[in-house]
Structure 1
Amino acid sequence: MARLTVPRVTMALVGVLLLTYAFAIAPRTTAGRPERAAGKPEHTTTQPSAAAVEPSPSSRPPEVFPPAEKVFIGVATKEGPYDFTPVADFTAAAGHQPQVMLFSSGWATDTFDRALFDEISGRGMLPMLAWEPWDYRLDEKAREQGAARRTIDRIRSHQPDYRLSHIARGDFDDYLLSWAEGIGALDHPVAIRFAHEMNGNWYPWCETANGNRPGDYVRAWRHVHDLFEAAGASNVIWVWSPNARWDGSTPKLAGLYPGDEYVDWVGLSGYYGMGAFSKYRSFDAIFKDTSREIRTFSDKPLVITETGASDTGGRKAEWITETFRLLPQHEDIIGLIWFEVTKEQDWRIVSSPAVAAAFAQGVAAPRYRFGWSPDLLPRTELAD
């Protein structure tokens, strides 16, 4: 056995100190922290936060309008928000509070009036503005003079100041901006149905009238839409709304469509009891073919933005009953707006007790029973 001598003890102690330095002290002396290997991230161990350990409850998804598997019923009247008596009469006859109110405004005479929108919203209805770039007084004057329908269409459709190219090039930008700023300042959404029935020939914004050319409608629509976006009017629901196709002479709709990025709802106008639809034709016969055509280029939710029935053939109540029977088969339709107006024909549901009863029975179904409020987000996708 080796003897423990002072020199040997001393040497052993020195060795222990050197080993301690090499393995315990030296790594800590470089800038007070260990060096990282080149090209590798520094790894630190931290305790998970309380939120990571126990995630907070997920917030409820925003409610949409209309809710899933529901369909809104709206109303349009001649008086609009200037007189709610016809709306009250419609509500009483239908036994139903409409969730949307459509009203018209012409560019030649009307300026933005916040009170009109707030009045509609305050009565529990989403305002939908039929925004019309024309002077509607020419149409009214021709009607007062008893002009034939074709003459009326020709007079009102020929308004060169309101050519689509003039809108697209910015001639009306000051006017548009005043509305964009006004609507953008509202504390509720507004649906804008700009220049509807553009596939006809009876308005100055139709591509087949007033010196307009192919492509002008899309350019005008996008210009108006982009101006509103630039002005910060993010509360607008954009509604593109052609007329239901009545024969093969009307233009293809795909060329008139601005694109899904410019549209929130697609719409259709169509009536039973007038013109090409004077003979009895069901809701499906009027709308189905055009709806199928729209589905070749857009999957946006569909709204029947104008419809009504006349009683010239004595089948108005029957048509309404059949319409409410057929509607559930159209899962892409999220709303229907009734034209409660006497114009060309008496389209109103208050035209007779039998018609009112048929309508009231139809809207009594649970799928139409819900309310609108300003905090609801518009359903802009069918998958919502």
Structure 2
Amino acid sequence: MRITTPRVLALLCAALLSWYTFQVAPGLADRERRAAAARADAVLPPTTVLPDERPAPHPTAERPTVAFPAAGSAFIGVFTSAGAHDFTEAAGFARQTGHRPQVYEFSADWESDQFDAEAINRVAKRGMLPLVAWEPWDHKAEAEEPTLRGEQSEYRLSRIIHGSFDPYIRSWARGIKSLRYPVAIRLAHEMNGYWYPWCEQSNGNRRGEYVRAWRHVHTIFDEVGADNALWVWSPNVSYTNSTPLTRLYPGDAYVDWVGLSGYYGTVGKENYQSFDRLFTPTRTEIRRFTRKPLVITELGATDAAGRKAEWITEMFRSLQRHRDIIGIIWYQAVKEIDWRVGTSRASSAAFTAGASASRYQQKWEPGMTPRVR
């Protein structure tokens, strides 16, 4: 092969590209990750002392029990897609609203996520109650076709009931027990739909199996002694053809908080609907069979029609009336729609104004007892 100037230049370019790809780019990416983590830590510093880091109390000392949230109070949390390894979006929420979240929700699926005490500790050290959306499926194998999302035969409810996942469940139970502070578990949420493998409308599941699966998991935690687990039963807001909630409720002995998912502006439902219009029908349905405290475990609003600020303002007015709602968790992420609070100055300002009320100011600490009545 003749050595020519173009060939020499091509070889040099290839060498430089390889050097940049394998030597420079990873370093830049790592530097940016560290910088992002530092920015998040500046807003949400890890300052909370966990039980294992405290000196042992005097045997005669008695600590007063403090409920979270206290009577008359409510919390504001965030749910991000980054999980417990990246608090960038949570820090963004805090900057945009001036409110430090008291609860941090993140997902863990049964295929990919083993118990990780350090990940959960990272949340608690930042003064936020960890809330794990614990999902019995493989989210990486999620089908693109909506009607097929719930089809993963390995994760049928019958396999949970008959013990196929018992070692995995027990590993989480032992891990959560070891933490010695409350950890909320939002197990198999939105079960009244069709889009997850644990929904009774999908995956070959049968009527009654959801309750049996839930109780089976709960019983394993009881056997291990993981009484610091806080159980959050969390359907989607009811809709035409959704599974009736009374068929899916495991019973008050197996549930601590009741949750709800609901968004203003999802695809197909772009018309404006207020917080009350979105949540009140399902809240009324739930109150027919349980009085457990209610948490809005997924919440968001679109700004496509320029009414997000108005919606947020109305939401805080409604929350003043509904004192059985003890907390809301905002979905601070982009998923098809940008649900983050700060899509405009107006929406950020509206949230800041609402969240500044005294009832949202209670800080979470690991020694607090979750309010379950």
5 Å-filtered alignment, 1:222-241, equals 222-241=215-234
Does the alignment pair 1:210 with 2:218? no
5 Å-filtered alignment, 1:1-384, equals 62-139=65-142, 142=143, 147=144, 151=145, 153-247=146-240, 249-381=241-373
TM-score normalised by structure 1 residue count: 0.80
In 2, Cα distance between the equivalents of 1:67 and 1:277? 35
In 1, Cα distance between the equivalents of 2:346 and 2:113? 38
In 1, Cα distance between the equivalents of 2:194 and 2:148? 11
1:277 CA drift (Å)? 3.2
Q: Which amino acid aligns with 2:195?
A: W
RMSD of the TM alignment (CA)? 1.2
In 2, Cα distance between the equivalents of 1:131 and 1:179? 10
Q: Which amino acid aligns with 2:311?
A: W
TM-score normalised by structure 2 residue count: 0.82
Aligned residues: 312
1:80 CA drift (Å)? 1.6
Q: Which amino acid aligns with 1:358?
A: A
Task: List runs of 5+ in structure 1 lacking aligned partners.
Answer: 1-58
Runs of 4+ in 1 over 4 A off after TM superposition: none
Q: Which amino acid aligns with 1:365?
A: A
1:155 CA drift (Å)? 3.2
Where does residue 3 of structure 1 map in the other structure?
Answer: none
In 1, Cα distance between the equivalents of 2:121 and 2:288? 37
Q: Which amino acid aligns with 1:354?
A: A
Secondary structure (helix, strand or coil) at the match of 1:157 reads coil
Secondary structure (helix, strand or coil) at the match of 2:282 reads helix
Q: Which amino acid aligns with 1:237?
A: L
In 2, Cα distance between the equivalents of 1:246 and 1:364? 33
In 2, Cα distance between the equivalents of 1:180 and 1:156? 28
In 2, Cα distance between the equivalents of 1:352 and 1:66? 30
1:276 CA drift (Å)? 4.9
Worse-superposed segment, 268-277 or 188-197: 268-277
Q: Output one character per residue of 1:62-121: Cα deviation in whole Å (capped at 9) or x when no partner.
A: 210001100100001111211111111111111011100000001111101001110000
Contact 1:238 1:263 (C-alpha < 8 Å) held by counterparts: yes
Contact 1:136 1:156 (C-alpha < 8 Å) held by counterparts: no
1:60 CA drift (Å)? 8.1
Q: Which amino acid aligns with 2:94?
A: T
